[in-house]
Amino acid sequence: MYTTTTDILVPFHDVDSMHVAWHGHYVKYLEVARCEFLESFDYGYQAMKESGYSWPIIDMRIKYIKPLHFGQRVRVQCTLREWEYRLKIDYVISDLATGERLTKGYTIQVAIDMDKNEMCFESPAILLQQLTQKCGPLPG
């Protein structure tokens, strides 16, 4: 499986009076990591648009194990789980210093043909091409 990591510092403006990150900001941390993940194989959101596809998130799940705190350095690991019919990315957020797992989740995206405004029932060839260039032959 293809995996990338992104390090994030939890900023003051993301926390409450107890210095705990508000649960909604976790979505932002996943998005930051997902953007770096997609860019790592040259198929970020601008490249998606230029190839004629949008990739909206249609499902997301987050399991909060332990809270994130102001000033904490965390690592978001993204792992590609599915790519043939949809893009499923698993996430693990862990403490950078200790490696302790703090949060896990996933997102699912589907390709939308922007000319037809229709959902694709399999991933476009451009995604597979970009992944193969970066990762080599894909399993399955």
Using one digit for the tens of pLDDT, what is the confidence trace for 55-86?
Answer: 999 999 999 999 999 999 999 999 999 999 99
Going by the DSSP 8-state scheme, the letter that residue 115 receives in this structure is T
Task: Tell me how far the alpha carbon of residue 90 is from its chain's centroid.
Answer: 7
* Mean pLDDT along residues 101-120: 97
pLDDT of residue 1: 78
Nearest CA among 132, 140, 85 for reference residue 108: 85
Backbone angles phi, psi at 72, to 5 degrees: -75, 135
Please give the model's pTM, rounded to 2 decimal places.
0.93
3-class state of residue 47 by DSSP = helix
Average pLDDT, the chain: 94
Please give the share of the chain, as a percent, with pLDDT higher than 90: 90
Please give the share of the chain, as a percent, with pLDDT higher than 70: 98
Matching residue, tokens 């080599």: 136
Beta-sheet strands, E only, within 10-138: 53-54, 57-64, 73-82, 87-95, 101-109, 112-113, 118-119
* Mean pLDDT along residues 112-129: 94
